[in-house]
A and B are shown apart, each in its own frame.
Chain A
Amino acid sequence: MNVSVAPDIDLALDHPIALETHHHSEKKGIMHYLWSYDHKMIGLQYLWTAFLFFLLGGALAMAVRYQLGFPNHPVPLIGRFLPSTLASDDGTIIPGGYNMLVTMHATIMVFFVVMPLLIGAFGNYLIPLKIGAGDMAFPLLNEVSYWLYVISGFFILAAFFAPGGAPGTGWTAYAPLSAVAIYNQTQVGQSLWGIAIFINGLASIAGATNYITTIITMRAPGMTMFRLPLTVWSLLITSILLIFAVPVLSAAAAMLFFDLNFGTSFFKPAGGGQPLLWQHLFWFFGHPEVYIMILPAMGLVSEIMPVFARKPVFGYKAMVYAMASIGLLGFIVWGHHMFVSGMNLTLSATFAVSTMVIAVPSGIKTFNWLGTVWKGSIEYTVPMCFTLAFVSMFVIGGLSGIFMASTPVDLFVHHTYFIVAHFHYVLFGGSLFAIFSGIYFWFPKMFSRMMNPTLGMIHFIATFLFFNLTFFPMHNLGLGGMMRRIADPTVYEHLRQLQPLNVICTIGAFGLGLSTLVFFVNLFYSIFKGPQAPDNPWLATTLEWTISSPPGHGNFPITPIVYNGPYEYSVPGMDKDYLPQNEKAPTNIQLEIH
């Protein structure tokens, strides 16, 4: 069965293999954009749809920050247009409406922005290109997965227009608040949330099935597992996490739906159900989900960093093993979200220890990134700046994570803004910085034009400053005792003296919103007016840079043969400082064995 292709077989030159993957024809006209089987178009569909949700999720975040910075002041400009479930007649956000804003901001950012961008957009676009395949294993399933995501998006948006308004139970939707209609006041809204999560899960599972199958079965000759670019490795591991974690959330969302609409009592104590069961099911999904959102980001930066340091990634295999162990450990730590749920102390200590163990592979990755830039010839391009910022922000978010892994500390900071600071450092400072980095890096491949570096640098500096201005003070707010999910901090006496910090966070958030607009201006300007990009503008080694920009239908005119690992930069003795994966090293050059 397993036909091994020895890396140094000379079949490339003598017998070019015609690509056999043109089993679906290219679509013309509007269908090219709506119902394409081409993985690149599907990747772009994910990209644009997720950007729309990103604008909505960002607007919700700013509404949240406005209320916290200036409680009970009418929201300027848009306040009067907000529905009555969110704001009063003069445009002031009401407490119930505040909860809805928080819930929808988080749900949209997690399920409709970060996951679709990292996995849907980059995953679809890059996997076949990087492994030397013509397309995904199942192109139809791929497109179905995108449309399932769109349908789930309609359901989550419909929740805003439900009779009781959107759900206000937080993205974690803890029972019994979420499971009993008279508690959450919006049976329809919460049900739509459940349906959206369920369908979104189907999209994730369809995508993950496709990715795993493609990576395992469709690699070009010579592309061994340990020659895979780290982006591909990260997406493979992420897909495995999706396969095992997402269905559990789907089961929980279904139970929640039945509790709300069919009178079942899974999470209702009155019928013998258990609210804690929801927490266990949710976090069994929820913690792997954390790694689902950071592993692909780690993959992207591991890919971009060696290009701009002109050095091989430090400890390639260690990077792979670290990601695999993070993925594995991610399944046995969910209890650290539940330290205050009355958990048995021995169990709580077990979860604390297993959580802290994750710091080891995370540390390996961090030090390997440092090792990669160490003594490199660093080019401070926009993607490299975002990549370096990713590492430093991830370290801050990761370290605060170790704080709360410790049960006694967590008892103190649980449900405070310390947690909010922590997960924004890993989700925004981590995942989203990597996404920006990836967009700037692969934009020339996607649209065959360069993005404007000046606007890009303004975007980077503004984002970096305003990000820290927004989220760093939240550590102090949390340690000062500010609880999450309160609509008006000023009603609590102990929080009044902290209000200036809240104002600072709010100013930062609006700065962050403006800097994101700079990004979108740059994006649209560059698509139409940017200078033409060469096929390999960054002089990178992986396979997508060996073909035209954007790659044609079917990707590779001739199936590439892979001879080298993905990060052969500055190989001693070579004329040029990089060696593409499909180029044989000159005979006098001895590469390290990969």
Chain B
Amino acid sequence: MSSSALTTPFDQVHSTESSHHGAPPHVCKFGMIIFLLSEAMLFAGLIGGYIVLRLASAQWPPSPDLPALPKVLTGCNTLVLIASSLAFHMVEVSVKSGKTGRRWLLLTILLGSTFLCGQAYEWTHLYREGLWFHVGGVYGSSFFVMTGFHGAHVLIGVLLILWCFLRQCFFKSFTQHHHVALDNVGLYWHFVDVVWVFLYMILYIV
């Protein structure tokens, strides 16, 4: 392989953009994608463990008196989360076209919070029905730990978007040409949504 085929991206890093504070946008995005790969492996570990436990169980739920998971309600909640991804996409579209994107940011926060409230309702509902971390064996364990891990990620995502919203309101931080933090929060948010689609399918549907 000739060496000239392998390029050095030095010029991109050391272009005029780097006089701006911090690493240049494409470097930040690259780092975020690497980080999200590790996040994907975290959920892969949880999902892998769940599959092993579930295949080893003669029936699912393991005992007939354990409550079923609310497919329809959470299905609606899933749609809310997907809608929030679309809303965030609109944030990026409007910021890139020169607008502030504040309304779309607010909508994303509202949709994300709605999802969290839905999950909180579901947890309390299942708790009253007699399912909790230590009740219902692996059925309860896996459900609460996996949705808990994901919920924590959604909560962090909502806080990040809230931070973007406040920065945009008070400092107009993100403009047509400088919006790398917004892009990275977007990558994270879309990732968290995609993970949820997998979790919903494997926990509720299958």
Contact = CB atoms under 8 A, between A and B. Distances in A.
B41 interface: yes
B137 A271 contact: yes
A220 B8 contact: yes
B48 interface: yes
B27 A248 contact: no
Contacts of A223: 8, 10
Contact of B46 (A20, A251, A264): A251
Interface in B10-64: 10-14, 18-19, 21-23, 26-28, 30-31, 34-35, 37-46, 48-49, 52-53, 56-57, 62
A526 to B, nearest CB: 36
Contact of A217 (B12, B52, B53): B12
A252 B45 contact: yes
A516 interface: no
A4 B133 contact: no
A347 interface: no
A217 B3 contact: no
A258 interface: yes
A216 interface: yes
Nearest to B57: A272
A218 B49 contact: no
A251 B3 contact: no
Interface range on chain B: under 10, 10 to 19, 20 to 34, or 35 or more?
Answer: 35 or more
Interface stretch (B67-75, B80-88, B100-108, B141-149): B141-149
A485 B101 CA distance: 61
Contacts of B8: 4-5, 219-224
A218 B18 CA distance: 12
A540 interface: no
A163 interface: no
B206 interface: no
Given A221-B10, A277-B49, A244 B138 contact: no
B138 A272 contact: yes
A216 B6 CA distance: 11
Interface in A308-339: none
A247 B38 contact: yes
Contacts of A17: 14
Interface residues of A, number: 64
A334 B91 CA distance: 44
A104 B21 CA distance: 43
Contacts of A248: 41-42, 44-45, 48
Contacts of A219: 8-10
A23 B37 CA distance: 28
Contacts of B12: 1, 3, 217
A20 B138 CA distance: 54
Interface string A3-22: 11111000000000101110
Contact of A281 (B31, B38, B45): B45
Listed residue (A223, A255, A271) with the most chain B CB atoms within 10 angstroms of its CB: A271
A273 B141 contact: yes
Nearest to A2: B7
Given A3-B12, A246-B38, A263-B133, A23 B48 contact: no
B134 A23 contact: no
A244 B145 contact: no
Interface string A238-263: 00000111111111101100110011
Interface string B122-153: 00000000000110011111101100010000
B42 A251 contact: yes
Given A20-B19, A227-B3, A247 B141 contact: no
B49 A266 contact: yes
A137 B43 CA distance: 26
A264 B134 contact: yes
Contacts of B144: 264
Contacts of A6: 4
A251 B142 CA distance: 12
A252 B26 CA distance: 33
Contact of B53 (A21, A209, A247, A266): A266
Given A247-B40, A258-B141, A273-B53, 7 more contacts: A1-B12, A20-B14, A210-B31, A218-B27, A226-B6, A248-B41, A262-B133
5 contacts: A222-B8, A263-B133, A263-B134, A266-B145, A272-B56
Interface of A: 1-7, 17, 19-21, 23, 137-138, 141, 205, 208-210, 212-213, 216-227, 243-252, 254-255, 258-259, 262-266, 270-274, 277, 280-281, 284, 559, 593-594
Closest 5 CB pairs of A and B: A263-B134, A251-B45, A264-B141, A271-B137, A247-B42
